[in-house]
Amino acid sequence: MIEFRNFSLTYPTGSRPALREIDLVVPRGQICAVVGAEGAGKTTLAGVISGVVPHMTGGDPTGSARVGGRLLAKTQPSELVGEVGLVMQNPFNQLSGARFSLREELAFGLENLGVNRAEMIRRVEAVMADLGLTALASLSPYEISGGQQQLLAIGSALVMRPAVMVLDEPTSQLDAVGAGLVFDTLETLRARGVTVVLFEHRLERPARYADRVLVLGEGRIVADGPPTDVLTDPRLAEWGVAPLRYTTAARRAAERGLWEADRPLPVTLEAAADGFAAALKSARTAGGL
């Protein structure tokens, strides 16, 4: 479980706090998506949860932040290894640079933790199968595409079987198939009780997979709730987040009386298709078409 109480943080070079008065509880097994404009504090929050900020970056925190009961201010990142997995935006920088095949790269963290070889092989093979990397197992991590490197970075965190996974825009370089694989894997993790905090600027996948969406604005949580509530909030654009096209289309249809009054605005393609089909049917029944 992740628990923040009135947590604020200012970087040594910052004139204003990067995070302000964060109160947040993410229970075990929840997929929590965090969205927000550039500079809203997403990467800082990801860093705090993974123990990197302020230990490796410097910064002045106030309030409390805990992961799995550990007070992060008093926990070094190395103590969170195996408990919190972090996937950053740039996969190239997450490669160890010291392993010569994908299989070896995936095993790097497990080797450092002293996991026995049989277990290591089991975990590596399972992650490669989950992420569709098996055919690439013998290639150099530098020989594969950026998208495949992103999958490898995700796999490198997954293979450690952390209780909390922090993913900072994990699918930014992936095609639809790769992104689908990642989110399917996140669903599996949720079923296993892993807490997932997903930092994204694209809303389509969080809308479908997240249990909850937080919006960060200038370091504060400005909205928090189920995707259907938060992602249809008319203030979303004010917070620097572009609403989903389906939601915008449905809202415009509703403004013209073409969307059923009791039907919530959609946040997924399927819900939008159902809503527009129902609107079309009503219009036909009413003789409007």
Partner 1 sequence: MDISPRSADGSPVHRLNPLTKLVFAVTVTVSAFALTMTWWPLLLFCTAVLPMVIASGTLRKFFPMLLALWVPIALTVYLIQGFFYPETSRVVAEIGPLELKYEGLVFATQTALRIMVLMGGFFLLLLTTRPGALMSAMTQRGMSPKTVYVVSAALQIAPALADRAQGILHAQQARGLPVKGLRGRIRALVPMAGPLILGALTDVGDRAVAMETRGFGTSRRPTFLTEVPDTAAQRVARTVMGLCALTAVVANVLGVLR
In angstroms, give the least distance from the CB of 140 to partner 1: 5
Q: Per rule CB under 8 A, is residue 100 in the interface with partner 1?
A: yes
Report how many residues bind partner 1 under the rule CB under 8 A. 50
Separation of alpha carbons 62 and 70, rounded Å? 16
- Helix (H, G, I), strand (E, B), or coil: what is residue 78? helix
52 binds partner 1 (CB under 8 A): yes
Q: Is 266 in the site for partner 1 (CB under 8 A)?
A: no
Among 12, 98, 191, 262, binds partner 1 (CB under 8 A): 98
Per the structure block, which two tokens stand in for 67?
């992961």
Q: Find the binder of partner 1 among 48, 107, 163, 216 (CB under 8 A).
A: 107
Site string for partner 1, 175-194 (x = CB under 8 A): --------------------
Q: How far is the C-alpha of 22 from the C-alpha of 8, rounded, in Å?
A: 6
Q: Considering beta carbons, is residue 44 or 247 the nearer one to partner 1? A: 44
The token duo for 57 is: 């970056």
How many Cβ atoms are within 10 Å of 142's Cβ, its own excluded? 11
User: Residue 67 forms beta bridges with which residues?
Assistant: 2, 70
CA distance 155 to 127: 6
Edge-to-edge, what's the strand order for the sheet holding 220-225? 84-87, 164-168, 195-199, 31-36, 212-217, 220-225
Query: Are the C-beta atoms of residues 7 and 62 closer than 8 Å to each other?
Result: yes
The arrangement of strands across the sheet holding 2-10 comes to 19-26, 2-10, 60-67, 70-71
Among the candidate windows 64-72, 108-116, 186-194, 251-259, which touches partner 1 by CB under 8 A?
A: 108-116
Q: Contact with partner 1 (CB under 8 A): which of 23, 60, 111, 238?
A: 111
Specify the stretch interacting with partner 1 by CB under 8 A; choose among 72-80, 188-196, 201-209, 227-235: 72-80
| Residue 49 near partner 1 by CB under 8 A | no
Tell me: does residue 67 bind partner 1 (CB under 8 A): no
Give the shortest CB-12-to-partner 1 separation in angstroms: 14
By CB under 8 A, residue 207 contacts partner 1: no
Q: Does 92 sit near partner 1 (CB under 8 A)?
A: yes
CB of 195 to partner 1, least distance (A): 16
| Using rule CB under 8 A, residue 122 touches partner 1 | no
Q: Does 26 bind partner 1 (CB under 8 A)?
A: no
Interface with partner 1 (CB under 8 A), residue from 44, 148, 156, 268: 156
- For 247-268, b/e burial (b = at least 16 CB within 10 A) is bebbeebbeeebbeeeeebbbb
Tokens standing for 40? 């809203």
Tokens 């036909």 correspond to: 284
Q: Are strands 220-225 and 212-217 parallel, antiparallel or unpaired?
A: antiparallel
Which residue lies nearer to partner 1 by CB, 69 or 114? 114
Candidates 30, 44, 50, 268; binder of partner 1 (CB under 8 A) is 50
Encoding tokens for residue 255?
A: 């403004």
To the nearest 10°, report the CA torsion of 97, 115, 165, 150: 30
**Binding stretches for partner 1 (CB under 8 A):** 47, 50-52, 56, 77-78, 80-82, 84-86, 88, 90, 92-101, 103-104, 107-117, 120-121, 124, 139-143, 153, 156-157, 160
